[in-house]
Chains A and B, each alone.
Chain A
Amino acid sequence: MPAKRKASSMYHLDVRGGTKIGRDSAVSTPGPATPRSIGSSSDEYSDAEPSESEKENIKKNINSFSVENYKAKQRSHAVAGMDSASHHFGANDFSYLSLKPDHDNRPLWIDPHKGRIILESFSPLATHAQDFLTTIAEPLSRPIFLHEYALTPHSLYAAVSVGLDPKDIINVLDRLSKIPVPDNIREFITSCTHSYGKVKLVLKDTKHYVESSDPEMLQRLLKDEVIGPLRVQGTEEITSAAAPKMTGLVIPGTKNFAGVQQAQLEGAKPKEGEPVQQEDIVATLNEDDDDDEDADAVHHFEIGDTAVETVQKRCLELGLPVLEEYDFRNDSHNANLDIDLKPSAQIRHYQEKSLSKMFGNGRAKSGIIVLPCGAGKTLVGITAACTVKKGVIILCTSSMSVIQWRSEFLKWSNINPSDIAIFTSDNKDKFARNTGIIVTSYSMVAQRGKRSYDSQKMMDFIQSREWGLMILDEVHVVPANMFRKVTSTIKTHSKLGLTATLLREDDKISDLNFLIGPKLYEANWMELAEQGHIARVQCAEVWCPMTTEFYSEYLRHSAKKKQLIWTMNPRKFQACQFLIDYHEKRGDKIIVFADNIYALKAYATKLNKAFIYGETGNAERMRILENFQHNDKINTLFLSKIGDTSLDLPEATCLIQISSHYGSRRQEAQRLGRILRAKRRNDEGFNAFFYSLVSKDTQEMYFSSKRQAFLVDQGYAFKVITHLQGIEDLPGLAFSTPSERRELLQNVLIANDADMDNDDKGDDMFHAMDGKSKFKAKKKANARRTAGALSELAGGQDMAYVEQNKSKNKELKRKKGEHNPFFKKLQRDQEKRRKALDDDE
C-alpha cells in the first residue's frame, strides 16, 4: 500500500492543474461494454503524462470554468465610491455596488470576484436560502450567524444535475441578494450550467444513449467530426421520448413511502419487487427541481458501447461534460432484487433530502453525499440500494466494515441473507440467485498481481456482471488511482460515494467530481447536533508547557525527533493521565489517539491501559474492542491512527488526542466522528468531549490550529485550556519528580528511528490480515549479509526479558474463549448459506 500511495502522489506532482480532471473523467466512465483488463488499467501508474495536445485542450476547458475568468472589468480608481478605507481591501472593495432598497429583508451578499456568498443565518429567509445554497454552492463555513458559500463550477454542475435551471438559479439568487447579482456572476452561472449537464449519457437496456432535452445540442454533436461517426447506424433519426418523471418513484422509508405501502395493502395484489405505480400519490420530494421539466421531451441517439469513452472525452473538449444517469425502473435487462426497507426503518429528514437529490427525476444519478460521522451514512446507502433494487456492489475500507455493512443491511432491510455476500480474504461467497449484493473492500478489488484461485474467480464474476449501483464508502480515504481502477473494472450504472469529510490536504478531492460524480448533498454539522442526530461535543485544546529539559532537547533535534519529544512531553503525559482519571470517574468511555506508535505504547503501558495498533492481531483486536464495549472495568482504549475511520464504538464519549498527523483537517474531523454517534447523546445535557493535547511553543501549536480549521468552520469552538484545575493533586501522577522526567527524556532520546516511525503498518482498523501482498513485497527486498555473533541469530544478545509495566492487552487475553454473539451469528449464517448452495446443486 505505501508504495502505491507514493506513486499516486508523484503522479500528481507531475501533472498539474486541470489535466487531472480530463484524464480522470476519461478513464472513470468506460461503461459496461468496454471491458478493460486489470493489466491495462495498471498502466496508469507508469504513464502519467497525457499527450501535449490533450493537455492543452483540457486546460483551455478548465480555464473557461473559473470565476476569475468572468471577472468584471476593473473599475477605474477614480470612482466616487473610493474613500480612505478602500486601501484595506485592494481589489476586494465592492462598496460601489448598489444596495437594493429593501436589502434589510434579503439575506445574501455576493462577491463578484470570487463567487463567494455570505448568508445572514438570522434572516427570516435564511432556511430557504440555506437549502438553495447547499444545492448550488459549496459551504465554506457555517458557524452561528453568518455562513459563507462559494459558487464553483462543480457545485453548479451538481445543481444542474438535480435539475435546476440556470435562469431559476439566477432569479432566486437575485431575489435573496441584497445587491443585484453582478453581471459576471450571471454570466458565470449561465455558461457553467449551459455546458454542464445538458448532455446525458444514459444506459437503457445495456445500450448507451446520448440524451439531451435540446435537439440542437444533439445535432451539434452529430455534426462533430469525432462523435458523428460513432453513432450507431440504423437509428437514423433523433428519437424523442417523454422526459422521465419523479412520479411514482418513492424512496423507501420516507413519509410518501409509508403512504404508498398503505395504499398497496389496501389494493388488490401488491407485486413486490416492481416499481410502484401510484399516480395519486405524487412524490414531491423536491419541489424546486423539476417543475418545468415535466413538460419537456427528451431526444437521444444511440452510440456504440465502445464509443462511450471517446464520446465522453470529446464532449469534455467541447465543454459539454456528459452526465450519467441510470433509468433503473425501465431496466428489464438486469434482474430485480427483492429488497425493501423494513417498516421499522424511518430515515431522517436530511437523509431523505440527500437521497431526493440522487433520485431527483426518477433516475439514479451518480454523486457523493457528505454526512458527518455517525449521522447514518450506511442507512443512506441501504436506502439507495432499496430504491434501485438491482445488483449492488459495496466497497468499504476494511474487512471489518465489510462485515458491518452486511449486518446493517440485514438489520434495516428485508433482504434474504443468502442474497448478500461478502468478498474478503476470508470469505469468497457468491449470492444464491441471479442477482444480489456483494460487499467487499477496496483493496480486494484493486489488488494487483497474482490472486488466489478463489478470489480470481470471484473477481471474474464481479467483472462479468453489470451492476445497478456501486456504493463507495469513505470515498475520501482512497487515492484516486484506486478509484479509477475500481470504476474501470466494475461495470456499474450509477455510483454513490459516501463520506464525512470531503477534504484532503492535497488537491485530489476534485478528482472525485469526475470519477464518481458531483457532491449531491452536504449536511450541516451544527444543525444535526442541534436536532440530536449526532452528539454535541465540547472541544478543547489543552496547552501543555514543555519542561525545560525537554524544550532544550526539542530545540536541538531533527524534525522527526522533535515530534517524538513533543509527544512524550511529561506535562502532556500528566494532562493525559489527569483527563483519563477525571473522565473515568465521570463514567465516560475514553479513546486516546496517538499517531506515534512509540508514544502509544509508552503511554498505554505506563497507564496500564489496553491499546491497539497496526501490528495487533485480529483476534486480539476483537477481544480488546469487545472488552471496551461491554466490560465496565475497561474504560480507556489507546488507538493508533488505524482507528481514525470506520470504527463504530457508540460507547465512547470522550476522546483525547496526544499526537496527530501534522495539519490534517480530515484526521481531526474523522477522529471527532468517533464520538459523534455516542449512544447517550440524547440524554439531558449530555456532552461528548474532545481534547487535543498540544505541547506549548512547539510546532504542534501551528499544526493544531491548521487541523481545527475544518471543524471550526463547521461551527465547533475549541476552548483553550492552559491549566487543568487540580492536576497537581492527582494521586500517583506520573513523572512528578525531576529524576523520573530525566529518565523519560533519556528513553526518548535513545529511541531509535524505527520506533519513531509514524506510519502505522496496518492501514486501518481490522486491516491487518487484508494486505498480505504488502508484507510479501517487504520480505523479498530484505536479504542482507551482516557479520555478527551466533548469539545474535539466537536473539540472545543483550536481550533480557523484563516486564515492567504489564500490558493490559495481555491481561485481557486470559479471558479467552467466548465469542461475540455477532460472530456466532455470522458463522451460523455462513453455514446456512453453504447448505443452501449445496441444496441447490
Chain B
Amino acid sequence: MSVSSLASFEYLEGLPGTTFRRLYLQPSTALAIFRRMLPHLDLELWVHPNSKSFDHALTLPRQPTEALSLLSRLHIVHITARTRDEPQVVSLTKAFGSSLRLALTGGGDHQSFGVPSNDSTTADVDLNFLDDYAQMQWEGILHFVVSSAGEGMRQGGQGPTAAVKQLLESGHLVTRARHSGGGITQAGFSFLLQEANAQVWTLLLLWIKNAKEMEMDSVDVLSFLFMLGSLELGRAYSTTTLTASQKQMITYLVDFGLVYIPPSTKNQFFPTRLATTLTSDATALRSVAAGFNAAHTNASAMKGFIIIETNYRLYAYTTSPLQIAVLSLFTKLTTRYPNMVSGRITRESIYRAISHGITSDQVISYLSTHAHPQLLKASAAHGGGPVLPPTVVDQIRLWQIENERMKATSGFLFLEFESQKEYDACAKYADEIGVLVWRSDPKRMFFVSRVEQLRDYIKSRKIK
C-alpha cells in the first residue's frame, strides 16, 4: 500500500465524528474510502458469510484487529464496548452503510459522482493533452522544489503560481531563508522521494490545513477530493453543481494540475490522471517521472536508471530535467549525453546536500530505489548482496557523520546537593535505574536522561 493513503488516513483519523457523519452523506466519499481501505483489511470481514446485509452486526471472536480499530477510528464501524456478559459486536455505522449501498447500487439522486457537462466539449482535449498538461503542472511544482536550491528558477515563466509557492513554503518543503542554505529542505527531499500519488496527497493535505484558515468547509473540500477520484478521465464535468468552497478550491486544483479548465468554456472541467488516481491503488506505484512515462509508453525498464560505481562515478540513464535536477542536489554532474548523464559523488557534493538538510540515508535510499537493473542483476548474482557498492554507501554515511561530532542528549542536570552522602545516594540510584548519562564527583553534579523516578526517590528521601 502506498504511503499516500496512510498519510490521508492519518489526517482523517484526526477529524471529529460529526465531520465523518457529514462526509459519509456523499456516496462517492463512502466508496472512495472503501476502495482505499480494501487492501488494509481482510475481505472476510466485508463478505462475511453470516452478514446478510451491511447493517448486520458481527460478533467478534477475538480481540479487535488493527484493521478493525482503524475502521472504528474512521467511523466506518461501530464497536460496542466490551462487557462481561456480551461479546463485542461490530456494526457498520448507519451513514457509511447507506451511502456505500447507494454507491454500489448506483441509486439515488445525490450527484456526488459529478455531473457530466452537456455543453459542447472542446474537441482538442484528449487524454494525451490532459496527461501533458498534468505533467507540466506537476513537474513545474517539483522543479520549483528541487531547483529553488541555489540557482533559483530557470524555468522562464513555467513555474508554479505564487499561491503554490507560498503553500510549499508554509509546508516547509522549501525555504527562502538564505542563512540555512535556502531552497529545498529535508522535508522537501522526502517529498521528492515519494511516489507521484503520495506527493499529490502530501500537497493536498497541506492545502487542506491551510484551507481552514481560508474559512472553507473542510467537509466540502474533502468530499470534493473523494469525488474527483471517482471521475472518469477525459470527460468534461460541469462546475455548476459545485458548492462555493468547491468552486474556490478548483482554481487551486488547476494550479496543481489535477484539473483542467478550458479557457473557452469556464463552466466545464476535466479531471486529469493525477486526480482520477487519487483514490485508486493500481497507479499509485509510479515514481515521479516514470509515472507519466509509464502512462503512455511501455517504459517499465525506466524504473531504475542509476549506476553507481565503486569509484564514486555515477551514471544515470535519464533525459528528464527533473531527475537531473534531483541528482544535482547530491552529485557533481559533469557531462550530459543524449540519454545519459555522468557525474560523481564527492565529499563536497554530499556536504552540499547535507547543508540543505538532506540526510545521507535519504540519498542512499534514493540511489537504491532507482538503481539500474544491471546493479540489481549483479547483486542477485552474488546471492542477493547489497545493490549499491557497500564502500560508497559507507562513505556517504561517513561524510555525514564527519560533520556530526556533537551529540545532544536532552535531560536534566542535578547539582548543589546538600551533602556528599546525598549526592552519592542519588547518583547511585540514577545509575541503578539506568538514566545516568554523566557525573562529576568533584563538582557534585550529574546528568540524567529521565527525571520521574529520580524525583520520586529524592522526595521519598526528603520525607525520611
Residues of A participating in the B interface, judged by any CB pair closer than 8 Å:
83-89, 92-99, 103, 109, 111, 116, 118, 122, 141, 143-146, 148, 178-179, 712-713, 715-720, 722
Q: How far is the CA of A111 from the CA of B334 in the complex (A)?
A: 11
Within 8 Å of chain A (Cβ to Cβ): is B2?
no
B309 touching A146, Cβ below 8 Å:
yes
CB proximity of B239 to chain A, nearest CB, Å: 33
B338 touching A95, Cβ below 8 Å:
yes
Contacts of A109 in B (CB 8 A): 337, 340
A88 touching B143, Cβ below 8 Å:
no
Can you list 28 pairs linking A and B with CB atoms under 8 Å apart?
A: A83-B321, A84-B321, A85-B328, A86-B336, A87-B154, A88-B324, A88-B325, A88-B336, A92-B335, A92-B336, A95-B338, A96-B338, A98-B338, A99-B338, A103-B339, A122-B374, A141-B309, A141-B313, A143-B311, A143-B313, A145-B315, A148-B313, A178-B338, A178-B339, A712-B310, A716-B310, A719-B394, A720-B395
Q: How far is the CA of A726 from the CA of B328 in the complex (A)?
A: 40
Per DSSP, chain A at the interface is loop
B328 touching A88, Cβ below 8 Å:
yes
A94 touching B398, Cβ below 8 Å:
no
The residues in B between 305 and 346 inclusive whose CB is less than 8 angstroms from any CB of A are 307, 309-313, 315, 319-322, 324-325, 328, 333-342
B324 touching A85, Cβ below 8 Å:
yes
A713 touching B311, Cβ below 8 Å:
yes
- B307 in complex: contacting residue of A83, A95, A146, CB < 8 Å: A146
Within 8 Å of chain A (Cβ to Cβ): is B359?
no
Within 8 Å of chain A (Cβ to Cβ): is B187?
no
Within 8 Å of chain A (Cβ to Cβ): is B147?
yes
Q: How far is the CA of A118 from the CA of B341 in the complex (A)?
A: 11
Q: How far is the CA of A722 from the CA of B401 in the complex (A)?
A: 11
User: Which 4 pairs of residues, A with B, have the shortest CB-CB distance?
Assistant: A85-B321, A85-B324, A717-B310, A143-B309
- B398 in complex: contacting residue of A89, A141, A722, CB < 8 Å: A722
B310 touching A143, Cβ below 8 Å:
yes
A118 touching B154, Cβ below 8 Å:
no
- A144 in complex: contacting residue of B324, B325, B378, CB < 8 Å: B378
CB proximity of B31 to chain A, nearest CB, Å: 40
B311 touching A720, Cβ below 8 Å:
no
Number of interface residues of B (CB under 8 A): 39
CB proximity of B311 to chain A, nearest CB, Å: 4
Q: How far is the CA of A785 from the CA of B143 in the complex (A)?
A: 77
- A94 in complex: contacting residue of B310, B328, B336, B375, CB < 8 Å: B336
User: Which of B154, B310, B341 has its CB near the most chain A CB atoms (within 10 A)?
Assistant: B310
Given contacts A87-B154, A718-B391, A719-B390, whether A144 and B309 have CB atoms under 8 Å apart is: yes
A95 touching B319, Cβ below 8 Å:
yes
A85 touching B325, Cβ below 8 Å:
yes
B310 touching A144, Cβ below 8 Å:
yes
Contacts of A83 in B (CB 8 A): 321
- B375 in complex: contacting residue of A95, A97, A118, A145, CB < 8 Å: A145
CB proximity of A525 to chain B, nearest CB, Å: 13
Contacts of B322 in A (CB 8 A): 85
Contacts of A715 in B (CB 8 A): 310-311
Contacts of A118 in B (CB 8 A): 315, 337, 340, 342
Within 8 Å of chain A (Cβ to Cβ): is B389?
yes
Within 8 Å of chain A (Cβ to Cβ): is B151?
yes
Other than the given A141-B311, A145-B375, 7 more pairs (CB < 8 A) read A85-B320, A97-B338, A143-B311, A145-B372, A145-B374, A146-B313, A718-B391
Within 8 Å of chain A (Cβ to Cβ): is B122?
no
Q: How far is the CA of A87 from the CA of B155 in the complex (A)?
A: 11
Contacts of A141 in B (CB 8 A): 309, 311, 313
CB proximity of B405 to chain A, nearest CB, Å: 9
Q: How far is the CA of A318 from the CA of B294 in the complex (A)?
A: 58
B321 touching A92, Cβ below 8 Å:
no
B338 touching A89, Cβ below 8 Å:
no
User: Which of A87, A97, A145 has its CB near the most chain B CB atoms (within 10 A)?
Assistant: A145
- Nearest opposing residue in chain A for B323, CB measure: A85
Contacts of A720 in B (CB 8 A): 391, 394-395, 398
Q: How far is the CA of A141 from the CA of B307 in the complex (A)?
A: 15
Given contacts A141-B313, A719-B394, A720-B398, whether A97 and B307 have CB atoms under 8 Å apart is: no
Q: How far is the CA of A520 from the CA of B311 in the complex (A)?
A: 25
Contacts of A719 in B (CB 8 A): 390-391, 394
Q: How far is the CA of A354 from the CA of B391 in the complex (A)?
A: 33
Residues of B participating in the A interface, judged by any CB pair closer than 8 Å:
143, 147, 151, 154-155, 307, 309-313, 315, 319-322, 324-325, 328, 333-342, 372, 374-375, 378, 389-391, 394-395, 398
Q: How far is the CA of A141 from the CA of B311 in the complex (A)?
A: 8
Given contacts A145-B307, A718-B391, whether A84 and B336 have CB atoms under 8 Å apart is: no
B154 touching A84, Cβ below 8 Å:
yes
Contacts of B319 in A (CB 8 A): 95
Q: How far is the CA of A722 from the CA of B172 in the complex (A)?
A: 35
CB proximity of A83 to chain B, nearest CB, Å: 5
Q: How far is the CA of A716 from the CA of B310 in the complex (A)?
A: 7
A179 touching B337, Cβ below 8 Å:
yes
- Nearest opposing residue in chain B for A705, CB measure: B347
- A84 in complex: contacting residue of B325, B340, B342, B390, CB < 8 Å: B325
Given contacts A89-B336, A95-B336, whether A84 and B143 have CB atoms under 8 Å apart is: yes
CB proximity of B145 to chain A, nearest CB, Å: 13
Q: How far is the CA of A551 from the CA of B376 in the complex (A)?
A: 43
A116 touching B335, Cβ below 8 Å:
yes
A717 touching B334, Cβ below 8 Å:
no
Given contacts A83-B321, A89-B333, A720-B391, whether A94 and B338 have CB atoms under 8 Å apart is: yes
Q: How far is the CA of A95 from the CA of B318 in the complex (A)?
A: 11
B334 touching A92, Cβ below 8 Å:
yes
Contacts of B325 in A (CB 8 A): 84-85, 88
- Nearest opposing residue in chain A for B310, CB measure: A717
Contacts of A717 in B (CB 8 A): 310, 389-391
CB proximity of A121 to chain B, nearest CB, Å: 9
- Nearest opposing residue in chain A for B395, CB measure: A720
Q: How far is the CA of A720 from the CA of B312 in the complex (A)?
A: 14
- Nearest opposing residue in chain B for A81, CB measure: B338
CB proximity of B407 to chain A, nearest CB, Å: 15
CB proximity of B398 to chain A, nearest CB, Å: 6
Contacts of B378 in A (CB 8 A): 144-145
Contacts of B336 in A (CB 8 A): 85-86, 88-89, 92-95
Contacts of A92 in B (CB 8 A): 334-336
User: Which of A85, A88, A89, A118 has its CB near the most chain B CB atoms (within 10 A)?
Assistant: A85
Q: How far is the CA of A353 from the CA of B166 in the complex (A)?
A: 65
- Nearest opposing residue in chain A for B390, CB measure: A719
CB proximity of B380 to chain A, nearest CB, Å: 14
Contacts of A93 in B (CB 8 A): 336
Contacts of A148 in B (CB 8 A): 313
B374 touching A99, Cβ below 8 Å:
no
Q: How far is the CA of A93 from the CA of B337 in the complex (A)?
A: 7
CB proximity of A697 to chain B, nearest CB, Å: 9
Q: How far is the CA of A145 from the CA of B317 in the complex (A)?
A: 13
Q: How far is the CA of A713 from the CA of B344 in the complex (A)?
A: 12
User: Which of B147, B309, B313, B334 has its CB near the most chain A CB atoms (within 10 A)?
Assistant: B309
Contacts of A179 in B (CB 8 A): 337-338
Contacts of A86 in B (CB 8 A): 336
Contacts of A122 in B (CB 8 A): 374
CB proximity of B297 to chain A, nearest CB, Å: 15
- Nearest opposing residue in chain B for A93, CB measure: B336
Q: How far is the CA of A485 from the CA of B147 in the complex (A)?
A: 59
Q: How far is the CA of A179 from the CA of B335 in the complex (A)?
A: 15
- Nearest opposing residue in chain A for B335, CB measure: A92
Contacts of B313 in A (CB 8 A): 141, 143, 146, 148
CB proximity of B28 to chain A, nearest CB, Å: 38
Given contacts A87-B154, A712-B311, whether A97 and B389 have CB atoms under 8 Å apart is: no
Contacts of B321 in A (CB 8 A): 83-85
User: Which of B154, B338, B390 has its CB near the most chain A CB atoms (within 10 A)?
Assistant: B338
User: Which of A84, A98, A179, A722 has its CB near the most chain B CB atoms (within 10 A)?
Assistant: A84
Contacts of B307 in A (CB 8 A): 145-146
User: Which of A88, A143, A713 has its CB near the most chain B CB atoms (within 10 A)?
Assistant: A88
